[in-house]
Structure 1
Amino acid sequence: MYTKATQAELAKDFDNAYRLYIKAAELFLHLSGSTSDDTKSKWNSSARRSLERAEKLNAVLNKPSQNTGQSQSGYQLTPVAVDHFSVQEQAHVVRRGATVNGTTYLPWDDQNYNRPRSSHRIIQPALSALQKEMGALWQSIISDDLDSLDPHDTSVLPQHISQNIVTDCSLCASISVCLEHKRRYRSNLAESVLHPNTSQGGGIYDLKVLFNGTWRRVTIDNKLPYHPRLDAPLCLTCECDTPGKRPRRVVWPSLLEKGYMKLMGGYDFPGSNSSIDLHALIGWIPDHVNTRSSKREETWSRIYDGFHSGRCMVTLGTGVGPDIYWDGLKLLPSHCYAVIGVQEVDGIRTLTVLDSWVHSSDLRVLEMPWSDVLNTFDGLYLSWDPAMWHKMLIYHGKWKVENGQTSASRQIRVKVHNPNIRSNDQEIWVLLTRHVVDTRKSSEFIALNVQIEDDFAGRSVSCNTSGISNKGPYTNSPHFLTRLSIPPLQSSGTLSISALYDGSSSDVGFSLTVYAGVEIEVEWVNQNVLSAPFTETVSGSLTSKNSGGNSTHPTFMINPQYHLRIFPSAKNGAEKTKVVLTMKAIKDIPVQVMVVWSNAQRVFEPSEKEIVATSGRHSYGFARLVEKLSPGDYNVILSAFEPHHTGEYSLIIDSSLRFSISPIPQEGAGMFNKMIRGAWGVSNAMGAPSFHRYFDNPVYELGLKSQASVKVRLQLVQHSSNVAVNVTIYSASDSPSTDRHVATSGAYDDARSGVVTPQTNLSKGRWWIVPSTYNPGVQATFQLIVYSTAPIEVQPRPRKTTCESQRQSG
């Protein structure tokens, strides 16, 4: 392939040469990843040579002229379509993730690492402010403190880990739970992170960490920060108690801490949680569970079964509040605690909780009831063994944030086949990991939106989820986990995964990992598919005037609505088309897309029969709907979860058939309007005309100085299905009669959107508006919205006496 590329270049077939050089680089990288270590460097070198030649061609031929901005050579290379799943692109993303906090960390299997380095110098991690204040000095470990990394040494227990002055309680808890796992299951999780590096001389160690898409190498020496006078380490310590002997100092946990602190930018560690740390150290799957979740029984079962099968390790995190107590004991805020025991005896559930900060042995270990754990701590940090999954797909990608924007999304699709369609326990986990180049940045957020598209029905299907929601909210953690249950009787489908980013960076890498069980087949869908032939983007803003909240609010009717018309195919007029509607908003707004049947008029309260499809429950910053639609007219309704949620949005429509999309005006658009709030109480809630005191209900006088077209809407401020209402317009009169109305909303109704009169032409003069409930004695607040084509005046009519009202109603 490389030879063909050079031949094409010599023949001045530059387009073909450029394409062949890139293809050759992809093939060489593929060979590098599938051959032994002896030939890996050879193929990597060939790949670099191919890419360099392609880049040189691109630079020379596409170099712009300073005068014209056009190519100086007069030749413009045809861009090569990017295959984001190619070995080259995947490797490119991983290479970009090598630099963290300004330091490069090569992949673990990089052959260039072990070349001779005569001037090699180990860079120490930055000390924290407190370590500097105490005058910390770097001191080599003395021989008496050196211990072997014997995986069979079970004398080191979780209780031997002490945090000291570094703010890395999450790492201490991580090491502790690994030691407990070793005690129970004879594993070697924490110790396996640290490796002596004999090629760089004595006293050098490498940490093997999973970071930014691959296992990487962090190199340290055997020096630790010590107090200048007390000969005491100013870092994590581990001392083993041996009966009849002095405590034995074990240093590998201190070295592990040093290496991890180096990766994280220094001992001034800003804090983390153990599921993040354990993912980096041993590659276990991070799973954050909010203790306020309603699924307490399910959470206990997952933790109990996972802990006792050796597949799950657990830590706990307190909130930021200063006053956190349990059983009279004050707990530290924003602190991580290790769980070293999970018990259930005679229905009593308890966790054994270890605090690595407390040095008093009688207070380090707490036996806490499960209910107290949920009420005391803010978060459960679970780490799951990836070996529990039989299939795993990994994709490395990039978010590109456009100029002037702060967010980006990427769509990745996975084909799913489930032969055992009657099983209810088929789960798929999807883990999104943001690549971190600056560990001090906390303003970058990610989220996942995952749907399964039914291949036969041509629509997106909501998946049962547990743990973290599959639709937000955003998190500034580098990890976001979604757990999906495949719907029963769903034999095949396509996972549509939207990886979402919001932050200040313009180019951000990420890794997406899909885990599946033995009975489910998964594979990436070819991403180089043709886009929909018809697409359009409309933009708008949710404001205080058009953000009506979800469908439980009476103001749902004011949400933005669009008239979508699908035109029939020239070949088959009844052919359905696949339509994808994607709504994007700022990350703090939960949004939803709904499609309803319509006649191009605004829909006020869609019934279940009118709803064609929705994007599911409201999801933060992103909503997506896939549906096969017949040619015809539809309303697309965009909503936020609450009326006070406001902000800009965009709606992207993709269709295989031609369509048109246009905004539907608000009710009363172009008309004068006035809103009046009132209330029914004991003295003025007189019910329907059949109760004979109808005009003792609130009456509002409408004044018109010229003829106008008027309609009136009545709504309850707090909807109640037990309160049916009506609004009616009468001509102002000293002796009105209930059967002489000019316009009425019709039968009493309890609709959330309220009731409305038809638009009616009224002459110049005075008119009465009467809002009423069907039953007398109702106490409720209401609002009237009066629309008119001419200026109006609306004010409460003075109350009449009871005798006068009776005569008028008579």
Structure 2
Amino acid sequence: MADPTSLEADADDFIKRAQHFENAKDFDLAVFYYAEAVQAWLNARNAGSTNPDILTLARSYTKRAEELVEKRDAAGSAVKVPQQNVEVERAKCLLNEALEADEQDNTVDALNLYSQAIEVLLKVRNETNDREFREKVERLARQALERAEALKSAVKSPPLSKASCTRTSSHRSRSGEGGNYTRNELRVLRKTSTINGREYLPFLDVIDSHERFAFAQPFMDQHGLIALSSKQRSSFVKWVRPSDFLNNPTMIITVSCFPIRQTCVTDCSFVASMAVAAQYERRFKKRLITNIIYPQKKNGEPVYNPCGKYMVKLHLNGVPRKIIIDDRLPMGYHDELLCSFSTNKNELWVSLLEKAYMKVMGGYDFPGSNSNIDLHALTGWIPERISIKSSGTNEFDADREFRRLEKRFHRGHCLVTVATGLLTPEVEQRSGLVPTHAYALLDMRQVDQTRLLLLKNPWSRTRWKGNFSDLDTEHWTPEMQRKLDYDLNSARYVDNGVFWIDYKSLLYFFDVFYINWNPELFPYTTCVHSEWSASEGPRKDVYSFANNPQYTLEVQAKSQAPVWVLLTRHITNKNDFAHNNEFIGLVVYKDIQSRKVYHPNDPVPLKDSVRINSPHCLIQLVQEPGNVTYTLVVSQYEKNVTIQYTLRAYSTAPMRFSPIIDPYTVTKTMNGEWKGETAAGCQNYANFHNNPTFELVWPNNEADNQVLVEVRGPRDFAIGFTWDVVSLTNSSPLNTARSLSTGNYRRGYTMLEVAGLSGGRYKVTVATFEPLQEGPFILSVKSTRPLTLSRLQ
């Protein structure tokens, strides 16, 4: 739960800041901080504060903010930073990194950085006519020179030139070694590091925390400028850096959802994701936004970099990855940014975070996404999709979901967005809602019998027009306004895209909840990164799971424990992301008797997910006390391409997770055919012995041979086979059965796996259930030891 005392302290701090900016005639920031203080007081009240003055304070400063809104136009527009000031700030950045290298006894790097800083400062000194400013610059240059001269005496060889510096000015290519990854996992992670033709390596704290951000010249991304969307191109004038249009560029003024505004980039789900993450960080004091943007101060707070280089950590293709960007942003005809931005003047984090994600996604011409995907990329939190509209495979329990989400939301366990589906123009106009659009969920309340949700449109405008909108005088009674700390009159004057909507209306007009769960709810987690080749197994796995990746998950629960399993398919190009033609799913079995699962419905699965064309598929289980072994099967619908994936398990109980690996070292395959008299039918028919028969020979005297025999035939045929001993070389085999069969005849595929067998000769007779069913089949025999396979008839 949020701490009311901490939230009240935030409010007091915001009031001080608001008053400071009001005195400085910066009415934009003053209004912002007054509004943030009011929100902090209301959050404190919701969190259980007993302060009797909270509502009075909130109303008083709301009124003050409204008064300042009228004065904002008189504040004037920002003046860009003089170029000489920009260059001095760049030199300071170089000096800071030089000092850091100096403290770490990295003399070569320190000398190179001091030299670059001196070069920039001397250039500024020679170009300025301001005597006081020139003296300030000379002092800085002299200090840097003195330290550089002192360092030179500590090294025998002269400092490296800029061209031979060991620290490069751009993002270096580096193989992702380290961790406890297997060779196969490293291969998979390397392969999916290349996304849309650019490499995004895993983020390694030890190395990447020392990324270089200071340069003598403004940093330019080696990948070039990001592709613009057609809508951006129609209004585009130029690329600008923050110092070109802001007088005091700042990374983050205060983390808040309210200043975030989407413009012409079609990424509402990502902007909504930034909004709920910012709201969470503000409310629960857990860094979700501020911990993924670099450079940072020593306290972890991201800072504006006058050199123009930034690094963003995003969760992509199974691991956190580093995204390097410069600070160039698209500007339009009317000096407006053609990307999402913060309405707080000088604040940059919204635009730069969006730019990093758009770079990975192939450009600002974003094909669209959903907040499950985007929030997972931002935070790594576990994505769950809940369809509101009931269907044959989904029954939505409105009461249960509201109670569950309200409880979890206020405890800080999850982030939530909602999305509309297709709406007719008439419904769109009447409701005020945008079709196929994501909205951030900022609050959930139940007042008496009325359930309400507070939503934010990423556009920061265009609100709901129905029940509990600012147009509704019937439901907004004075008592309801008091209980929700809502002022109907004030709301009518400002359309910031934030609105209350009743739960019943939301269920009618919206299609889906996107929930991302805090992984810290689960003390135990484990994962594997792997690949499933398109050549392994049939295109459809309706009849056989023999070639599907399978895993064993053993959970030891002393009390009831949730067990969640997330399958994430890696995506490496925009077209795949846009069209999502690959459908994935998970099938879970509990305490099966066999080594692995071969038949999808035998045994009956505990959980069988719908095959979905989303990168994420989540299975949620609740385990009762005791030890349980789950078998997890990765599935695809109509497998067309090789996929790379991450399978991650979460639980509140200890667990062991491992792939199921075939023990077989030898494989023999023969093609056969049922035709004429060899299409003799099953053992119920007198001519069963006329069916195709094969001999299998182990030329050894061992007592523990193991074999897997598989037959694949036409899907219209129910097929099976018998296994009979002809002769044995060991008189004491572990398995003494003389005759075995596949049991029930199955369509398209059947198998028999047997262990503890003696060396010797065995006969396999392959049949269809009904006679006179003619067609081809494939017999495959896998063994732990060398064998021969031949046709008898």
TM-score range, shorter chain: 0.5 to 0.7
Matched AA of 1:523: F
Q: How far 1:472 sits from its partner (Å)?
A: 2.3
Q: How far 1:314 sits from its partner (Å)?
A: 0.8
Q: How far 1:281 sits from its partner (Å)?
A: 1.4
Q: How does 1:438-453 map to 2 (within 5 A)?
A: 438-441=573-576, 442-453=579-590
Matched AA of 1:331: L
Q: How far 1:306 sits from its partner (Å)?
A: 2.1
Question: Measured at CA, do residues 654 and 403 of structure 1 come closer, stay the same or move farther in structure 2, by a change above 3 Å?
Answer: closer
Q: How far 1:257 sits from its partner (Å)?
A: 0.7
Q: Does 1:394 align with 2:527?
A: yes
Which moved further from structure 2: 312-321 or 270-279? 312-321
SS for the counterpart of 1:378 is: strand
Residue aligning to 1:217: 322
Alpha-carbon contact 1:582-1:653 (below 8 Å) kept: no
Q: How does 1:468-507 map to 2 (within 5 A)?
A: 470-475=608-613, 477-486=614-623, 488=624, 491-500=627-636, 504-506=640-642
Q: How does 1:397-796 map to 2 (within 5 A)?
A: 397-402=530-535, 410-420=548-558, 423=559, 425-441=560-576, 442-454=579-591, 470-475=608-613, 477-486=614-623, 488=624, 491-500=627-636, 504-506=640-642, 508-517=643-652, 519-525=653-659, 527-531=660-664, 631-632=740-741, 634-638=743-747, 654-656=753-755, 662=766, 664=768
Residue aligning to 2:498: 365
User: What are the ranges of 5 or more consecutive residues in structure 1 without an aligned counterpart?
Assistant: 1-35, 51-84, 241-247, 541-562, 586-590, 599-627, 639-648, 671-810
Alpha-carbon contact 1:128-1:166 (below 8 Å) kept: yes
Residue aligning to 1:26: none
Q: How far 1:231 sits from its partner (Å)?
A: 1.1
Residue aligning to 1:714: none
Q: Does 1:193 align with 2:292?
A: yes
User: What are the ranges of 5 or more consecutive residues in structure 2 without an aligned counterpart?
Assistant: 1-103, 107-165, 167-171, 297-302, 463-493, 542-546, 598-602, 674-690, 699-703, 723-736, 775-793
Distance 2:353 2:661 in 1: 43
Which one of the candidate residues 144, 157, 162 is aligned to 2:247? 144
SS for the counterpart of 1:180 is: helix
Distance 1:445 1:479 in 2: 11
Deviations 1:84-121 (A, max 9, x none): x9632222211112211111122222849947999973
Residue aligning to 1:254: 351
Q: How far 1:381 sits from its partner (Å)?
A: 0.9
Residue aligning to 2:193: 98
Distance 2:386 2:400 in 1: 11
Q: In proportion to residue count, which structure has more strand?
A: 1
Q: How far 1:402 sits from its partner (Å)?
A: 2.1
Q: Does 1:376 align with 2:509?
A: yes
Q: How far 1:514 sits from its partner (Å)?
A: 1.1
Residue aligning to 1:644: none
Q: How far 1:392 sits from its partner (Å)?
A: 1.0
Deviations 1:11-70 (A, max 9, x none): xxxxxxxxxxxxxxxxxxxxxxxxx9x9xx9xxx9x9899xxxxxxxxxxxxxxxxxxxx
SS for the counterpart of 2:744 is: strand
Q: How high is the TM-score relative to the length of structure 2?
A: 0.54
Percent identity among equivalent residues? 25
Question: Measured at CA, do residues 471 and 654 of structure 1 come closer, stay the same or move farther in structure 2, by a change above 3 Å?
Answer: farther
Question: Measured at CA, do residues 238 and 117 of structure 1 come closer, stay the same or move farther in structure 2, by a change above 3 Å?
Answer: closer
Deviations 1:634-686 (A, max 9, x none): 22344xxxxxxxxxx6566545477957453569979xxxxxxxxxxxxxxxx
Alpha-carbon contact 1:444-1:504 (below 8 Å) kept: no
Alpha-carbon contact 2:215-2:307 (below 8 Å) kept: no
Alpha-carbon contact 1:316-1:339 (below 8 Å) kept: yes
Distance 1:218 1:502 in 2: 34
Matched AA of 2:632: S
Alpha-carbon contact 1:100-1:438 (below 8 Å) kept: yes
Distance 1:578 1:493 in 2: 24
Deviations 1:697-754 (A, max 9, x none): xxxxxxxxxxxxxxxxxxxxxxxxxxxxxxxxxxxxxxxxxxxxxxxxxxxxxxxxxx
Deviations 1:321-358 (A, max 9, x none): 54584893142222111111122233432222221125
Residue aligning to 1:208: 313
Residue aligning to 1:164: 263
Distance 2:568 2:431 in 1: 37
Question: Measured at CA, do residues 537 and 93 of structure 1 come closer, stay the same or move farther in structure 2, by a change above 3 Å?
Answer: farther
Which moved further from structure 2: 493-502 or 91-100? 493-502
SS for the counterpart of 2:247 is: helix
SS for the counterpart of 2:612 is: coil
Question: Measured at CA, do residues 584 and 214 of structure 1 come closer, stay the same or move farther in structure 2, by a change above 3 Å?
Answer: farther
Question: Measured at CA, do residues 140 and 86 of structure 1 come closer, stay the same or move farther in structure 2, by a change above 3 Å?
Answer: closer
Which one of the candidate residues 331, 354, 371 is aligned to 1:274? 371
SS for the counterpart of 1:206 is: strand
Residue aligning to 1:784: none
Matched AA of 1:311: H
CA RMSD across the alignment: 4.9
Question: Measured at CA, do residues 405 and 191 of structure 1 come closer, stay the same or move farther in structure 2, by a change above 3 Å?
Answer: same
Q: How far 1:389 sits from its partner (Å)?
A: 0.8
Residue aligning to 2:433: 331
Distance 2:190 2:370 in 1: 26
Residue aligning to 2:401: 299
Alpha-carbon contact 2:566-2:619 (below 8 Å) kept: yes
Q: How far 1:260 sits from its partner (Å)?
A: 0.8
Q: How far 1:132 sits from its partner (Å)?
A: 0.9
Distance 2:515 2:347 in 1: 27
Distance 1:298 1:456 in 2: 36
Which moved further from structure 2: 377-386 or 189-198? 189-198
Question: Measured at CA, do residues 319 and 536 of structure 1 come closer, stay the same or move farther in structure 2, by a change above 3 Å?
Answer: farther
Q: How far 1:159 sits from its partner (Å)?
A: 2.9
Q: How far 1:176 sits from its partner (Å)?
A: 0.9
Q: In proportion to residue count, which structure has more helix?
A: 2
Residue aligning to 2:220: 121
Residue aligning to 2:412: 310
Residue aligning to 1:285: 382
Alpha-carbon contact 2:384-2:515 (below 8 Å) kept: yes
Distance 1:104 1:96 in 2: 9
Q: How far 1:399 sits from its partner (Å)?
A: 2.0
Distance 1:234 1:666 in 2: 69
Q: How far 1:485 sits from its partner (Å)?
A: 2.9
Distance 2:453 2:552 in 1: 38
Q: What is the number of residues matched between the two proteins?
A: 504
Question: Measured at CA, do residues 98 and 650 of structure 1 come closer, stay the same or move farther in structure 2, by a change above 3 Å?
Answer: same
Alpha-carbon contact 1:455-1:492 (below 8 Å) kept: no
Q: How far 1:253 sits from its partner (Å)?
A: 0.6
Alpha-carbon contact 1:326-1:376 (below 8 Å) kept: no
Q: How far 1:182 sits from its partner (Å)?
A: 2.3
Matched AA of 2:618: L
SS for the counterpart of 1:257 is: helix
Q: How far 1:196 sits from its partner (Å)?
A: 2.4
Matched AA of 2:645: F
